[in-house]
Structure formats: structure tokens, C-alpha cells
């Protein structure tokens, strides 16, 4: 049985994006961002944004969906970091 690359991409995106959900919930509940590196998170957000653009350009929908949601979650954490320091 040959694996479906599109399905595999969506599953990978679901797992890696879903990994951010507990962190977002934790940051919003505790307002603790002291241990999050601002420089690292800014670079991460920029990288995810570029992956999103790449996915759009090559019409790789698993890449687009996963990175759009990841970007939203990462921006929430980055915003909390900037707000709560």
C-alpha cells in the first residue's frame, strides 16, 4: 500500500501545529513568558510566515494549512511575550 503524500502532509501538520496548543493555553492562563526567548520566537514566526508563502506559491495545501494555523498560534505567544514580558 502506497502512502498518500497529501494525507501524510496533513497528519504531520496536525501533529506539529497541535503541539503549540498546550503552550498557547499555558501562556494565556499563567501570563508567564519569562522563559521564552524573544529572539528565537521572532525568528520562528518569520520562518513560519515564509513557509506559508512558500506553500501558497507551490500550492502545497498541507504546508499552507499547517503554517497558517501555526503562525496564528505563534503570534499569540509572541504577542503575550511582548505584552507580559
| Helix, strand, coil percentages for the chain (3-state, nearest 5) | 80, 0, 20
Cβ pair 48, 71 in contact under 8 A = yes
pLDDT interval class at 38 (50, 70, 90): very high
pLDDT at 59: 96
Model pTM?
A: 0.90
User: The C-alpha cell of 2 is what?
Assistant: 502506497
Alpha-carbon distance of 74 to 54, in angstroms, equals 18
The stretch 32-41 carries a mean pLDDT of 94
Cα-only R_g, the chain: 14
Give the chain's domains with CATH numbers.
8-84 (1.20.1280.290)
pLDDT interval class at 3 (50, 70, 90): confident
pLDDT at 34: 93
CA dihedral of residues 9, 19, 35, 27 (deg, nearest 10): 130
Amino acid at each position: 500500500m502506497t502512502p498518500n503524500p497529501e494525507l501524510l502532509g496533513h497528519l504531520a501538520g496536525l501533529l506539529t501545529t497541535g503541539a503549540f496548543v498546550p503552550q498557547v493555553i499555558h501562556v494565556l492562563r499563567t501570563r508567564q513568558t519569562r522563559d521564552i526567548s524573544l529572539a528565537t520566537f521572532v525568528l520562528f514566526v518569520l520562518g513560519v510566515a515564509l513557509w506559508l508563502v512558500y506553500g501558497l506559491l507551490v500550492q502545497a495545501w498541507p504546508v499552507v494549512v499547517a503554517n497558517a494555523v501555526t503562525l496564528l498560534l505563534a503570534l499569540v505567544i509572541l504577542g503575550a511575550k511582548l505584552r507580559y514580558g
